[in-house]
Amino acid sequence: MNAVFAPDGALLRAWSRWWHWAWTSCCWALLCLPVITMPAATLWLITQQRRYARGEASLSPAESVRYLTGHLFPALPLAGCHLGAAALVIIGLFGPSPGGPYSWVVLITSSLAGVTWLLLAPWTFVIFERTGRTVAAIKTAYRLALTRIDLAVTGATAVLIAGAAAVLLFTRVPYLGPLLALAVPAAVASLSIMLHDRASALAPRDEVQR
């Protein structure tokens, strides 16, 4: 029992992690309010989780402002690629059907593109946070997902479940639900980082960097 409540015990470590997730998630939501800053804010969220995992101090408010202004425009092309892919998939799945055999071709192609996009999307931001290059981030995420499809599926599934869980916690679980939902964005970022790093460590280096 004493080990649980010790300064370095499991209970206080869990509390510290939840608190870090909650406040960085709240900051991320505020930073996303202009909408155009959402990609840079997402990179900021990933950076904060990496620093916490390494035991480093979080970015200060002044450092956060400099980080956002420095990544605002470089992150927009990656966000544009994701928006374009999402729009094409939605139009293909729910838009007007060409009719005849082509309708099945459009449906199958859109479904495959949607699944591929879901597998790549979380890791592209994790990779871009390190490289700062849109094309390289997409290519690396694609090759990494092919070599470690199990981890890519786990990451994409976790993102979908986390999104649904956050909505349910906010709307269906009184009192405790909103408190738990606050930590969801940062928790998803931490999970995506962990899965990406594990996939990078397990995948053949020449296969990923080719």
Share of the chain above pLDDT 70, in %: 90
- Give the pLDDT confidence of 163-189 residue by residue, as tens digits: 898 889 888 888 788 888 889 999 999
Q: Are 147 and 184 in contact (CB under 8 A)?
A: no
Show the tokens assigned to 189.
Answer: 């970022």
Between CA 70 and CA 121 the distance in angstroms is: 22
Give the mean pLDDT of 18-42. Answer: 93
What is the phi-psi region of residue 35: left when phi exceeds 0, alpha when psi lies from -120 to 50, beta otherwise? left
Residue 209 has pLDDT above 60, yes or no: no
- The yes-or-no verdict on residue 21 having pLDDT over 90 is yes
Domain boundaries, the chain: 2-209
Average pLDDT estimate for 23-52: 94
pTM (two decimals): 0.88
The pLDDT of residue 7 is above 60: no
Nearest to 46 by CA among 123, 136, 115: 123
- What is the three-class DSSP state of 9? coil
Give 86-99 pLDDT, tens digit per residue: 998 998 888 777 66
**What pLDDT was estimated at residue 210?**
54
